[in-house]
Amino acid sequence: MSLLAPLGLLGLLSIAALILIYVLKPNYQQKIISSTYVWKLSLRYKKKRIPISRFTNILIFICQFLILVALAFVMSKPVIPGKMVKSNEKVFIIDASANMLVSYADETRFERAVQEVQDEIADTFEDGGLVTVIVANEDPYTLAQRSRSADSSVIKDRLDELIDREIKCTYGSADLEKAVALAQGVVDQNPDAEVYLYTATTYVDKGNIEVVDVSDMDDWNAAILGVDAVIGDDNYYTITVRVGCYGRSESMQVIVEVEGANGEPTPYILESDELFFNVMEEEQTVTFDAQVQIDQEGDGNALHSFKSLYVHVDEADGFEKDNAYYFYGGEKDTIKIQYASSAPNNFFRTAVYTLREVYKNTWNIQFDEVTIDLRKPVSEQEYALEEYDFYIFEHTMPEKLPTDGIVMLVDPDSKPKGLEMTMGGMYGLYESPLTAGDPHPLTAYMNPEAITITKFTEIVTHNGFDELMYYGNKPVLLAKNDMDSKVIVMAFDLNYSNFSMLFDFPTFFFNIFNYYMPPTLTDYGYEIGDTVYINARGDSLTLTGGEFENESFTSFPAQVIVNQPGTYTVAQVSMTGEYIIDNFFVGISNYESNITKEIEALPFLSVIEREDEEDKDLIIWFAAVMVALLFLEWGLQARKHF
């Protein structure tokens, strides 16, 4: 039991007053007087009542004594304290996303967060508490799990290591969902554990997490958010640059250094007008259109090719990793296609020209057409059997197959040397629609049932070819894609088919490119954490950059996840023996470049509210006892006097 108003016990002084009253009260004195018989009887009766009267007086005194005691306790507000189960345990989540690398006065946000956590840990250990430290990067992990003061030196060393290492935190975004899930495991064991997030991001709804802001009021960041270069209808590049400025009103200029502009060795510099930013307008777009003149030799040509673009803003902000951006892909690889036929038609030419337009930002497609002269021997034919990426032979076949590219044989009249296939004679009696074979990338988005042919060359046997389309039960379209043999056989004449008239024909050529000659890179610009798909134009390639150092790949498409900013290089040898270098750039995500962003809510942290036992109030009980004693005392007084 405890007393909420201990001064109420001063009421016990009334007991002294009660005793004093009894001490000063006159005692009963027995006197002998003459009397009659009645008086004697009365005296006898009186003597018999005296012992009972003394006992009653004692009871009355005890009741009065207890009444005063009860009254004093009522005045002191007695309670029985409830049980308190609060414990001193804290969970510290350190945001390790890229924006925590923003610095001011030679100290990053991340360093400030680690230092503040170290101070809080010292205070918690001093109070005998437990601590858990979680580092929230792209793959959050627990640095210390419910540790006590005995582990303080180990935890300090681990936190110091976070600051001392070369890459202090991720260049990507923190996975706060997983970080909060790790904290949830601690809270599930102890609902009283307090969870703190040390970050520079503003959250509107913090839930059950205490957010500690480690940003500095002078933090600001200028960033190149993205670069794009697109060839227009006039075959000249338009360069678009997105620029951001966060945390401060500033003016800045965007500079584009064009390397290899139109094949010239000297870099050419493009400069934007001065851009003015205020804190309410954080992003702007700058366009260098096709009219921008690249005048290396005084010829006034606009930009139609480049090796790379180095785009940057020269500002002394708090985060330099996103001040520059490299853009590649301005020099397109050449794809050489040879079409050799003894009776050329426009079908293949039109399909290739359509491909050239579609892939103008990816390939420089060179189309060479050769007419096979049946009067000349094979040795005097003008078609080539090497140094092309794609060979198309129609009607009249070469003596042997090329080995350095894709070979397409259309309506073959013979079997070239190197073709693992046995041919029969001409086959077909009437026009009939084709039927589909097994699903294959080469026939994707095509409808074989819409294609009709009248006659074809029978394929008797074939080794390793996929059967893509049939006339009845006989294959008329076959394909092979081995390391040393990439061959397509179309065993019918387009002049005896409606294939060339259908949309399926250009679709088929798109599928050929996507299947046999996918671009090495699908893009030249990525963000941290992106998956990059890489294809080879040969048997293998190597990747260098970031965490990769001449890493070889032989299975394609290869998939890599990029986690460090900068330029990556892909080196390979094509099927034609050409050494090819491709580059792509990985930048900080726009989400992290925005260092003043406001997020709607943190991931939800579930906390079970544990109800502590409330204090039990004893006033009513003491009051009840006091009232009961009062009634008892009144009864005794009545019995005594009446």
Question: What architecture is domain 333-515?
Answer: 3-Layer(aba) Sandwich (3.40)
Comparing 216 with 291, the larger pLDDT belongs to 216
Q: Note whether 578 and 571 are within 8 A (CB).
A: no
Q: What is the pLDDT of residue 298?
A: 44
Give the tokens for residue 219: 């933090």
Share of the chain above pLDDT 70, in %: 90
Evaluate whether 89-218+596-601 and 221-328 have a shared fold.
no
Share of the chain above pLDDT 90, in %: 63
Least confident segment among 122-136, 138-152, 292-306, 357-371: 292-306
Distance, in Å, from the CA atom of 136 to the CA atom of 133, rounded to the nearest integer, reads 10
Answer whether residue 366 shows pLDDT above 80: yes
Query: Backbone phi, then psi, for 577, in 5-degree steps?
Result: 90, 10
Strands 525-527, 579-587: pairing is parallel
Distance, in Å, from the CA atom of 222 to the CA atom of 313, rounded to the nearest integer, reads 8
DSSP character at residue 233? T
* 205: Cα separation from own chain's centroid: 20
- Which amino acid belongs to residue 587? G
Distance, in Å, from the CA atom of 209 to the CA atom of 214, rounded to the nearest integer, reads 15
Q: Note whether 407 and 393 are within 8 A (CB).
A: yes
Other C-beta atoms lying within 10 Å of the C-beta of residue 457: 24
Distance, in Å, from the CA atom of 99 to the CA atom of 540, rounded to the nearest integer, reads 37
Answer whether residue 296 shows pLDDT above 50: no
Q: What is the pLDDT of residue 223?
A: 97
DSSP character at residue 577? S
Comparing 400 with 24, the larger pLDDT belongs to 400
Other C-beta atoms lying within 10 Å of the C-beta of residue 487: 24
Note the pLDDT tens digit of each residue in 169-210.
899 999 999 999 999 999 999 999 999 999 999 999 999 999
Least confident segment among 68-77, 219-228, 442-451, 599-608: 68-77
Q: What is the pLDDT of residue 535?
A: 92
Q: Counting beta carbons within 10 angstroms of the beta carbon of residue 260, is it exposed (0 to 12), middle (13 to 18) or buried (19 or more)? A: middle
Distance, in Å, from the CA atom of 53 to the CA atom of 41, rounded to the nearest integer, reads 18
Q: What is the pLDDT of residue 488?
A: 97
Comparing 614 with 581, the larger pLDDT belongs to 581
Comparing 403 with 44, the larger pLDDT belongs to 403
Strands 525-527, 548-553: pairing is unpaired
Q: What is the pLDDT of residue 640?
A: 65
- Please give the model's pTM, rounded to 2 decimal places: 0.75
Answer whether residue 77 shows pLDDT above 80: no
* Cβ contacts of 641 within 8 Å, gap of 6 or more: none
The candidate with the shortest Cα–Cα distance to 187, out of 173, 204, 208, is 208
Mean pLDDT, range 332-341, rounded to an integer: 92
Q: Note whether 586 and 568 are within 8 A (CB).
A: yes
Residue 518 pLDDT class (50, 70, 90 cuts): confident
Q: Note whether 179 and 201 are within 8 A (CB).
A: no
Least confident segment among 450-459, 588-597, 601-610: 601-610
Q: What is the pLDDT of residue 38?
A: 54
Note the pLDDT tens digit of each residue in 368-385.
999 999 999 988 899 999
Distance, in Å, from the CA atom of 58 to the CA atom of 309, rounded to the nearest integer, reads 109
Q: Note whether 344 and 371 are within 8 A (CB).
A: yes
Mean pLDDT, range 293-320, rounded to an integer: 80
Burial 568-595 (b: 16+ CB within 10 A, else e): bebbbebbbebebebbbbbbbbbebbbb
Comparing 630 with 553, the larger pLDDT belongs to 553
- Which amino acid belongs to residue 436? A
Distance, in Å, from the CA atom of 268 to the CA atom of 386, rounded to the nearest integer, reads 37
Fold of 221-328: Immunoglobulin-like (2.60.40)
Domain boundaries, the chain: 2-82+616-641, 89-218+596-601, 221-328, 333-515, 525-590
Answer whether residue 571 shows pLDDT above 80: yes
CATH number, domain 89-218+596-601: 3.40.50.410
Q: Note whether 522 and 533 are within 8 A (CB).
A: yes
Q: Which of 57-66, 275-284, 607-616 has the highest mean pLDDT?
A: 275-284
583 by DSSP, 3-state: which?
strand
